[in-house]
Amino acid sequence: MTTNTTTSDQRLRVLIPEDRLQARIQELGAQIRADFGDRPITCIGVLKGSFIFMADLVRAIGGDVRCEFLGVSSYQGGTKSTGVVKITKDLSGPIEDQDCIIIEDIIDTGLTMHYLLEMLSVRKPRSIHVCTLLDKPSNREVEMSADYVGFSIPDEFVIGYGLDLSELYRNLPHIAVYTP
């Protein structure tokens, strides 16, 4: 459901307002905690885009949560994924025998997540799941799906709530469509 709300920047159209984001994150956190029970969860945030979502999500999950981060780049400043995944920061510790959830801001082509799942599975976690705030299934180039999805969105370039355009707009409290 798209709203016609605009921000002061006429290139931006609000797609998901802040209140809907926060409500859905609470639902995701409750669902994850119910699925994992009292077991500790290692949340692996994919930087930089997931950091705001992950901060809110781990609070919503509650219980024992470890936080790890991976730096990944596949956009190199543009509005389209290059398809080439570059690791810019690796995990700080082992994940062997841990229940892990990769926390992603958006799954677009699926190439980055496919790469991360393969890379992390060789580190022998007890389980590995995927939680994404935004999903663009119409853009898939590889078959994959997330275990937890905040919102499925159309094929538009989005910013805000951690997502950027050349490092700008991450601080918006909502998700907006950017039209140059």
Asked if 108 is an active-site residue, the reply is yes
- The catalytic position among 56, 99, 105, 108 is 108
Distant-in-sequence, close-in-space partners of 13: CB < 8 Å, separation ≥ 6:
2, 4, 5, 6, 176, 177, 179
- Asked if 15 and 156 count as a contact pair (C-beta separation under 8 A), the reply is yes
What DSSP line would sit under 32-65, residue for residue?
Answer: HHHHHTTS-EEEEEEETTTHHHHHHHHHHH-SSE
In the 8-state DSSP scheme, what is residue 139? G
Q: Where in the sequence numbering do the catalytic residues fall? A: 108
